[in-house]
Amino acid sequence: MGRLMRVELRRYLARQAVRWLVVGMVAAVLLTGFAAWRASRPPSEAQLAEAQQQVTLAQADWAQHGAEYMTQCRAQQEQARQTDPSADFQCDRGAPTVESFLPPRQTFAANAYDSLGQVATFVLLLSLIVGATFVAAELSTGAMSTWLTFEPRRGRVFASKAAVASVVTGTAALAVSVLAVGVLWVATAVNHATGQVEAQTLVDLGNGSARIAVAAAGAALLGAGLGFLLRHTAAVIASVIAWFIAIDGILVSGLLQAPRWAAATNLQAWLRAGTTYYQQGPCVTDPLGGLACNPVQKTLPMAAGGLTLVAALAVVAALAWVVFRRRDVA
Amino acid sequence: MADLAVSTRGLRKTYRTRGRRIVAVESLDLDVPAGGVHAFLGPNGSGKTTTIRMLLGLVHADRGEMAVFGTPVPGRLPAVVGRIGAIVEAPKFFWHFSGRRNLELLAQAIGVDRHQVGVVLGDVGLADRADSEVRTYSLGMRQRLAIAATLLKDPDLLIFDEPTNGLDPAGIREVRSTMRGLADRGKTVLVSSHILAEVQQIADTLSIVARGRLVASGPVDELLSAGGAAPVRVGVADRDAASHLLRGQGWTVSDEGSDLVVTGATSLDVNRVLALAGMYAHELRTERADLEQVFLDLTQTDPTAPTGRRAR
Ligand SMILES: Nc1ncnc2c1ncn2[C@@H]1O[C@H](COP(=O)(O)OP(=O)(O)OP(=O)(O)O)[C@@H](O)[C@H]1O
Ligand SMILES: [Mg+2]
């Protein structure tokens, strides 16, 4: 098995698609870094001047009507709390400052986690594609049948391919995520906008990167499994897109009203360490005789999302294995 | 069974395509003796590739048994796969690497000593071009490199599916002599082809399939004589009289332009009969008994007829 893994590893790294994967991932990271750099830039002279002008007016207004505004605000907040006890109108903000008239500025501390989430989408898509080509290209070019004449034990061939695809892709994704964190740091540090970085921020980013890596390994395995089943990379990509639109979006979340079981929800729960979704709640007849159905917010913990995905992946892998074992390899 | 490199019994394979069932191989009993070149012949679509793929475990048989060197396959294929080298696809090489480098990579992959690479390159006569890039090779050289690749594990049985496809006459000759050379060194070569002439000169034994069934098998020379007496071409002045006379002997005579073609008799018989009647042939020639003719006759026989011919 060790020898087979080495063979597959060499083949995997020799694949053109894998190089493009790396290029694509790095490009995604750099783009995200660029976006972070732009969003964390200090305001320009013109922006500052304009904000200064506006804040002067606003402060004058505040000096005159500030107390009045605060009472008004509190009254509105009180009213809102009758239906939503957690309503907070932030009535004690005090006098307007120049910051409120400047475009919002991103910092590493506040935004790196979200930016990493954007990188993740791209990384997962590429992982899926590269896992799929690794298997499908060999099946459709006949390289697989040549290889099977050297190693006819299909179980080993299947396992070594799946293992290499997921482990290598997962490792690459981890490296890319760590790189992304580094790039985000540099991009914001250039603008002196790292913000208040606490130990917890870094722990969150580290955990987030690890979860992206695991998800990427899963995506590559899914791609490989579907590659065994469908034999063409394009078919794999098309079926995954079709799944997200038709099954996930229309059927599961729409018609069946079960967003808990949509792949997107579970993926989100895994990547973001838990997520919330809305489910149609009990319907009540309102005083006017109409039917009001209020959506209920629910949370899906990270572990539940992860386990659901693992179970789904296991089903695909098992199916792929059975089909590969039985099918004629042309 | 031990002296057989390959044997199959009652082998059957059907493909389902768009609801239709295609019988690719039907009740095939194939015996390939160990040692020598065995030609596996049949017209296009007669099931040769399917049979080879079943032997290699790439395609699953519907029914029947197969054995390679007495080991049942595909059940125990892993135990004998080390003794089999096969080309099942147009070989793929790294274009910008030398032939040697390509084989070294493969050797590494299958756990064969790198020293073996030089040996197999010599075996196929590529030693002097081994260090050129593969993209500079002729088609025939690439095919020989593919053969060299199958030799890396030093197999006892080599299976080549139409190895001369797409080659020019020089390339065909190269590959042919390579195969013959391997057989002369004690290996068994199973080579499929739909063109008899391509393998006739180098084959020791052959099997002929048509529409998935075996129609003939055995040593090449036996099959040649099984093809029946060769026709005799006769040139005489009075063709009508001669034709009448020869038919009277119970032979088949056909008029082909200026000549008569007689089947069922030797040239000696024909000459004697004509001479006794005072007719003299200005031409008398035995048409060469060509395996090609045997092949064509056999593969055109109705394969559903139960009497498959076996010259053995
Ligand atoms: N994957 C497949 N799916 C469906 N039918 C197939 C498949 N492979 C082969 N066949 C059919 O099975 C029959 C035998 O094909 P096979 O390729 O074994 O013949 P062959 O003797 O190798 O022919 P050729 O000389 O053209 O290579 C043909 O009718 C072919 O159309
Ligand atoms: Mg064929």
The pLDDT, as a whole number, for residue B290 is: 60
Nearest to B78 among A10, A153, A326 (CB): A153
Q: What is the C-alpha separation between A264 and A309, in angstroms, rounded? A: 10
Boundaries of every domain in chain A? 2-40+107-250+306-326, 45-101
The pLDDT, as a whole number, for residue B54 is: 96
User: Do the Cβ atoms of B59 and A329 come within 8 Å?
Assistant: yes
Q: Do A227 and A164 touch, CB atoms closer than 8 A?
A: no
The pLDDT, as a whole number, for residue B228 is: 56
The pLDDT, as a whole number, for residue A215 is: 98
Distance B162 CA to ligand 2 centre (A): 7
Nearest to A150 among B89, B91, B110 (CB): B110
Q: What is the C-alpha separation between B246 and B269, in angstroms, rounded? A: 10
Least confident of A113-122, A250-259, B120-129, B270-279: A250-259
The pLDDT, as a whole number, for residue B88 is: 83
Phi, psi of B192, rounded to the nearest 5 degrees: -95, 150
Is residue A239's pLDDT more than 90? yes
CA distance A1 to chain B (A): 12
The pLDDT, as a whole number, for residue B311 is: 40
The pLDDT, as a whole number, for residue B195 is: 82
Report yes or no on whether pTM surpasses 0.90: no
Is residue A194's pLDDT more than 90? no
Predicted-assembly ipTM surpassing the 0.95 threshold: no
Q: What is the C-alpha separation between B85 and B103, in angstroms, rounded? A: 14
Q: What is the C-alpha separation between B116 and B148, in angstroms, rounded? A: 10
Closest atom of ligand 1 to CA, residue B50: 18
Rounded average pLDDT over A217-240 = 96
DSSP state for residue A254 in the 8-state scheme: I
Q: Do B261 and B286 touch, CB atoms closer than 8 A?
A: no
Nearest CA in chain B to A156: B78
DSSP state for residue A41 in the 8-state scheme: P
User: Do the Cβ atoms of A148 and B58 come within 8 Å?
Assistant: yes
Q: Do B25 and B11 touch, CB atoms closer than 8 A?
A: yes
Q: Do B179 and B85 touch, CB atoms closer than 8 A?
A: no
A273: left (phi over 0), alpha (psi -120 to 50) or beta: left
Q: What is the C-alpha separation between A1 and B284, in angstroms, rounded? A: 70
Strands (E), chain A: 275-285, 291-300
The pLDDT, as a whole number, for residue A146 is: 85
The pLDDT, as a whole number, for residue A136 is: 92
What does pLDDT average to over chain A? 89
The pLDDT, as a whole number, for residue B1 is: 44
The pLDDT, as a whole number, for residue A43 is: 85
CA distances from A113 to A181, A200, A240 (A): 9, 11, 26
CA distances from B37 to B85, B157, B184, B196, B200 (A): 14, 10, 9, 13, 10
pLDDT in tens, A128-181: 999 999 999 888 888 888 889 989 999 999 999 999 999 999 999 999 999 999
The pLDDT, as a whole number, for residue B80 is: 95
A-chain residues near B102 (CB < 8 A): none
Distance B52 CA to ligand 1 centre (A): 11
Q: Which of A25, A34, A44 is nearest to A186 (CA)?
A: A34
User: B44: Cβ below 6 Å to ligand 1?
Assistant: yes
Is residue A106's pLDDT more than 90? no
The pLDDT, as a whole number, for residue B293 is: 66
3-state secondary structure chain B: CCCEEEEEEEEEEEEEECCEEEEEEEEECCEEECCEEEEEECCCCCCHHHHHHHHCCCCCCCEEEEEECCEEECCCHHHHHHHEEEECCCCCCCCCCEHHHHHHHHHHHHCCCCHHHHHHHHHCCCHHHCCCEHHHCCHHHHHHHHHHHHHCCCCCEEEEECCCCCCCHHHHHHHHHHHHHHHHCCCEEEEEECCHHHHHCCCCEEEEEECCEEEEEEEHHHHHHHCCCCCEEEECCCHHHHHHHHHHCCCEEEEECCEEEEECCCHHHHHHHHHHCCCCCCEEEECCCCHHHHHHHHHHCCCCCCCCCCCC
Angle, CA A259 vertex, CA A258 and CA A261 arms, to 5°:
80
Q: What is the C-alpha separation between B69 and B48, in angstroms, rounded? A: 20
Distance A142 CA to ligand 1 centre (A): 16
The pLDDT, as a whole number, for residue B148 is: 93
The pLDDT, as a whole number, for residue B307 is: 40
Q: List per-residue pLDDT tens for chain B, 312 residues long.
A: 448 999 999 999 999 888 899 999 999 999 999 999 999 999 888 999 999 999 999 999 999 999 999 999 999 999 999 999 999 877 778 778 899 988 988 888 888 998 999 999 998 889 999 999 999 998 888 888 999 999 998 999 999 999 988 888 888 888 899 999 999 999 999 999 988 877 878 999 999 998 899 988 988 877 766 555 677 889 998 889 999 999 998 888 888 878 898 887 878 888 899 998 888 888 888 776 566 666 777 777 544 444 434 443
State the pLDDT confidence band at A287, using cuts at 50, 70 and 90: confident
The DSSP secondary structure of A263-286, one letter per residue, reads HHHHHHHHHTTSEEEEEEEEEEE-
Q: What is the C-alpha separation between B257 and A141, in angstroms, rounded? A: 53
A-chain residues near B86 (CB < 8 A): 149
Q: Do A270 and A302 touch, CB atoms closer than 8 A?
A: yes
Q: What is the C-alpha separation between A281 and A278, in angstroms, rounded? A: 9
